[in-house]
Structure 1
Amino acid sequence: MGKVFLIASGKGGTGKTMFAANFGATLAKRGNSVVILDLDLGLRNLDLYFGLENNVVYDVYDVLTGVCRIKQALIKDKRFEELYVMAASPSRDDGTLTPLHMQVLCEKLKNTYDYVIIDAPSGIDDGLVLSAAGTDEAIIVTMPEYSALRDADTLDRELLKLGIKNRYVVLNKVIAEMMSSGFAPRLREITTIMRPPLAGVIQFDENIQISTNLGVPIVLKDGTYIQENFDKITDRILNA
């Protein structure tokens, strides 16, 4: 039986999809079978992060509404032994989907794959409720800005209400000089604001933005400090 991770953020622009793509890629590099679902209905982006946008025929909405089978919507990334992406629908849900639809899909995927990663829409609306159904653990991606931290804390409370007990925080886009100079909240303050454990810190690096624009997960390049950092973050989450 596999495990379902929800990747969520309180606001847009935190790097949630970037983390979902590279977290999934890190797990796949270790020999695990991984499926990454884009649940940001109406704002499809995950396929771009893998450079698979031209391979999309069916999407997660088609699966949830019975238009196609699960396998028909899974796009294999040939750079990995077993990593699959399921794109989001370019149209928003019209209200026909329920959390039960998502729960059933997650249960079916867990029976076949080691890890299911759900890239949830930002915020705490109905899209979060749908995405969280069937989730085992959640990872909140935020950044060292007070507005982002406040939204992340609000999101964390909603996840707790939805019954997700195991939650982690990943702090992205960190500029150490700004923290040390007092122009951004320091780690001690951030860990006071956020209740879940801090799984890791990702420094701001232009190479991350370049990799996403190229459709290449940055962890594919071994030996870089970024790849090693993702390995450590993954270990902390899996071994918690």
Structure 2
Amino acid sequence: MSKVYLVASGKGGTGKTMFSVNLGASYAQKGYRVVVVDMDMGLRNLDLYLGLENNVVFDVYDVVTGVCPIRQALIRDRRIDGLYMIGSSPERDKGDLTPLHIQVLCEKLKEQFDYIIIDSPSGIDDGLVLASAGADAAIIVTTPEYAALRDADAVDRELVRLGVKKRYLVLNKLIAEMMNSGYIPRLRVISSIMRAKLIGIIQFDMNINISTNLGQPIVLKKGTYIQQNFENICDRLIEEEGR
């Protein structure tokens, strides 16, 4: 059964889009058909992170407003079988879009794909309301800082209000030495702040920054601990789906 995951964050800079790209690539490497949809219509970056910025002709706005069919907006990543994206345009006014538009889009995408990953805008404004409309579950990406955790908790509460019952937490940019020294919140403190279930941890690594600048998902490099982090997250999500 197809699944729609909303990837959200309380503030910019947590690695939300990086996570969306690499989660989608990880699922595709497991043999699933995956599409990652850029719903951050104000600050699109998904195409850059995949290195597909020159391939975007039609975007998600064109699809939901009937300018083009879904197949014309789908961009295939030829490095990974089964991975596609739909880009976004920062120049469009999304004011005439409704949650129903996005819900219908997700239902149509479910007919073609095993996983639909929605890269939502940061924060709790109308963009989150739109992006979450077709979501079966949400993954909140945050960093181990009190300000980021407070914002992530605000997003979690808003998702509850919007009716997204399953919500997971991913802790990104973790520096173990800082946590062990008490300079950043420990896992038990984070778990006491957040109600969403912790599904994975991604350690800070400069190679992630390099990969996003090059437009290459870091999970393309097999055998690294980061690639294993993402594979573990996929496996845990698949296990959660069976419950």
- TM-score (ref. length: structure 1): 0.98
Aligned counterparts of 1:119 and 1:126: Cα–Cα separation in 2? 14
The code of the aligned residue for 1:49 comes to Y
Give the aligned partner of residue 203 of structure 1.
203
Give the aligned partner of residue 188 of structure 1.
188
Cα offset for 1:42? 2.3
Give the aligned partner of residue 39 of structure 2.
39
Give the aligned partner of residue 107 of structure 2.
107
- Is residue 174 from structure 1 mapped to residue 174 from structure 2 by the alignment? yes
Ranges in structure 2 where 5+ consecutive residues have no aligned partner: none
Q: Which whole-Å deviations, capped at 9, do the CAs of 1:32-67 have from their partners, x for residues lacking one?
A: 000100000021100011100010100011111111
Give the aligned partner of residue 162 of structure 1.
162
RMSD after superposition: 0.8
Cα offset for 1:196? 1.3
- Is residue 144 from structure 1 mapped to residue 149 from structure 2 by the alignment? no
Partners of 1:145 and 1:184 within 8 A in 2 = yes
Q: Which whole-Å deviations, capped at 9, do the CAs of 1:186-236 have from their partners, x for residues lacking one?
A: 111001101111001110000000001110000011111111111111111
What secondary structure sits across from 1:118 in the alignment? strand
User: 1:186–1:230: structure 2 CA closer, same or farther, 3 Å change rule?
Assistant: same
What secondary structure sits across from 2:138 in the alignment? strand
Q: Which whole-Å deviations, capped at 9, do the CAs of 1:50-90 have from their partners, x for residues lacking one?
A: 10001010001111111111010110000111111100112
The code of the aligned residue for 1:203 comes to Q
Q: Which whole-Å deviations, capped at 9, do the CAs of 1:94-123 have from their partners, x for residues lacking one?
A: 410000000000000001110000000000
Partners of 1:169 and 1:200 within 8 A in 2 = yes
Aligned counterparts of 2:92 and 2:5: Cα–Cα separation in 1? 22
Give the aligned partner of residue 13 of structure 1.
13
Partners of 2:28 and 2:80 within 8 A in 1 = yes
Aligned counterparts of 2:44 and 2:189: Cα–Cα separation in 1? 34
What secondary structure sits across from 1:107 in the alignment? helix
Q: Which whole-Å deviations, capped at 9, do the CAs of 1:129-170 have from their partners, x for residues lacking one?
A: 000001101000000010100000010011011111111000
Aligned counterparts of 1:80 and 1:207: Cα–Cα separation in 2? 20
Partners of 2:49 and 2:213 within 8 A in 1 = yes
- TM-score (ref. length: structure 2): 0.97
The code of the aligned residue for 1:20 comes to S
Give the aligned partner of residue 219 of structure 1.
219
Aligned counterparts of 1:166 and 1:218: Cα–Cα separation in 2? 27
Partners of 1:168 and 1:237 within 8 A in 2 = no
Q: For 1:47-58, what aligned pairs fall within 5 Å after superposition?
A: 47-58=47-58
What secondary structure sits across from 1:10 in the alignment? coil
Aligned counterparts of 2:224 and 2:207: Cα–Cα separation in 1? 11
Partners of 1:7 and 1:119 within 8 A in 2 = yes
The code of the aligned residue for 1:46 comes to L
Ranges in structure 1 where 5+ consecutive residues have no aligned partner: none
Give the aligned partner of residue 87 of structure 1.
87
- Is residue 117 from structure 1 mapped to residue 114 from structure 2 by the alignment? no
Aligned counterparts of 2:131 and 2:61: Cα–Cα separation in 1? 12
Partners of 2:61 and 2:92 within 8 A in 1 = no
Partners of 1:33 and 1:113 within 8 A in 2 = yes
